[in-house]
Amino acid sequence: MGGGTVSAPLEELTTWDADWTGLRVVVTGIGLSGFSAADTLIELGARVVVVDAGDTDENRAKADTLRIVGAADILLGADAVAGLPRVDGSVPDLVVTSPGFRPTHPVLAAAAEAGIPVWGDVELAWRVRIREGRRTAQWLAITGTNGKTTTVTMTESMLRAAGLRAIAAGNVGTPILDAIRDPEGYDAIAVELSSFQLHWTHSISPLASVCLNIAEDHVDWHGSYEAYMADKAKIYENTQVACIYNAEQYETEHMVEEADVVEGCRAVGFTTGVPAVSMVGVVEGLLVDRAFIEQRKDSAAELAAMSDLGEYAPRHMVANALAAAALVRAFGVEPAAVRDGLRAYSPGNHRIQPVARLNDILWVNDSKATNPHAAAASLAAFSSVVWIAGGLSKGVSYDNLVAEHRGRFRAVVLIGADSAELQAALAQHAPDVPVIHALEEQTGEQPAAPVTSAEEIMVRAVAAAAAVAEPGDTVLMAPAAASMDQFTSYAHRGEAFIEAVAGYVGEQQAPGQAQTPKEP
């Protein structure tokens, strides 16, 4: 650690009330997590420099706020992130990074070369969670390639149904440091952790943890699939009570086997089939627990009925519910609260969201399916699909996805600035399936006009899908790719789809026809 006015070395900074005064910190990024990290460090008395490549009105406004609340320098623009800045003229003692910054980023690479520790906002939150005069929340940590947000919000709902003060935080939207600094405190925090966030964690010790699943994703950020899996596996390190794994995917069980956990921590599986001892699973339409009861060798406790998940519950939704149930059962929540939490739970938008039904054709928005694994879960829920797909691939392969689900495709409508990898997989594994390029379609004998907006992209995709869909089909927008090549976010992409479908249905609908499906 660099010299200066720091009163305590980093290894002693493990509570809010430790002496953080004078710690020189560089914070990368001024988005949600970066802003909360800088704000927290300023409150703790640290000397902070924030760097962000975006010199925007929004970032300037955030910079002004940070300057008002305390000692901070904010550097914006490309030059600000070209290397590691000094803090008060000296080498920083610590870098706290936002999840979007790759380890190879010039700021982080310079910190590594200089031997300066790098934390994420999650590591900082863990170290300041204990504060005199406030309750200290237990952490239930959730990661996985897909299903994180669903599981973390289900977990929150179950905890609240048990009468606990709980919140979903982390990658789900509420920065973990905002939850930690809540004046009332929480009994439990359901913490969604991305692989990016886990990469920069070092000492967190959750009460219970789960990796829901693992599939190729974010290879461009991590450098390899193996490195991605290694960061996901960090979720289990130092777990206190229960490491929960997917019994239908050996990789997650292997992660538990390799984890260094607190003595006495148990391995608990979840399965959508009949559970073995020390698992939760499904028996005759019931979600049951054979892990957290004394008589687990020859009996099971009923947690909920499949119907408590709603009329529409695809297999992966059941798996997410079981993972959430295992987390809260590890915390000590009674079975009735699992059931009540599921009944009260409302799925978020853009996750297998039925948005319209017309002429016996169902239109479904799953813009949250930003990788092949997530899209596969969506496709598996339907038998005949017009699939709208494509976008920023993040370096993954589409071969297995297309080969596994080619029998479901009536047609594929491609969006995305460059869908060459997906198109190649379709040509190899589903050569007889019609592939429509939404942005290249002909209207009559004239070429389509140039696309002028993200919304127009989706209008054309919806029109192309409608032209080939038949009664009994599902038009599924599950892109299997990130959105940033054409949209600002997966939510923007999903809203564009919803609006385009509404426009199409409004044009086609005759009096008496149903426009929207039953609530899922």
| DSSP state at residue 141 | E
Question: Looking at residue 138, what DSSP letter applies?
Answer: E
- 146 a known binding residue? yes
Torsion of Cα atoms, 302 then 307 then 310 then 316, to 10°: 60
CB atoms within 10 A of CB 174: 17
In 3-state terms, what secondary structure has residue 385?
strand
Helix, strand, coil percentages for the chain (3-state, nearest 5): 35, 20, 45
The verdict on whether residue 148 carries a ligand-binding annotation is: yes
Does residue 471 sit in helix, strand or coil? coil
The answer on whether 150 is annotated among ligand-binding residues is yes
Q: Which residues contact 156 (CB under 8 A, 6 or more apart)?
A: 166, 167, 168, 190
Q: Are strands 138-143 and 208-211 parallel, antiparallel or unpaired?
A: parallel
360-376 core/surface letters (b: 16 or more CB in 10 A; e: else)? ebbbbbbbbbbbbbbbb
In this structure, what DSSP letter does residue 392 have?
Answer: B
Number of H helices, E strands in the chain: 17, 22
Q: Answer yes or no: is 100 a known binding residue.
A: no
104 labeled part of a ligand binding site: no
| Amino acid of residue 251 | E
| DSSP secondary structure, 21-67, as one string | TT-EEEEE--SHHHHHHHHHHHHHT-EEEEEES---HHHHHHHHHHH
390 carries a ligand binding annotation: no
Candidates 153, 154, 142, 143; CA nearest to 287 is 154
Binding residue positions = 144-150
Binding residue positions for ATP = 144-150
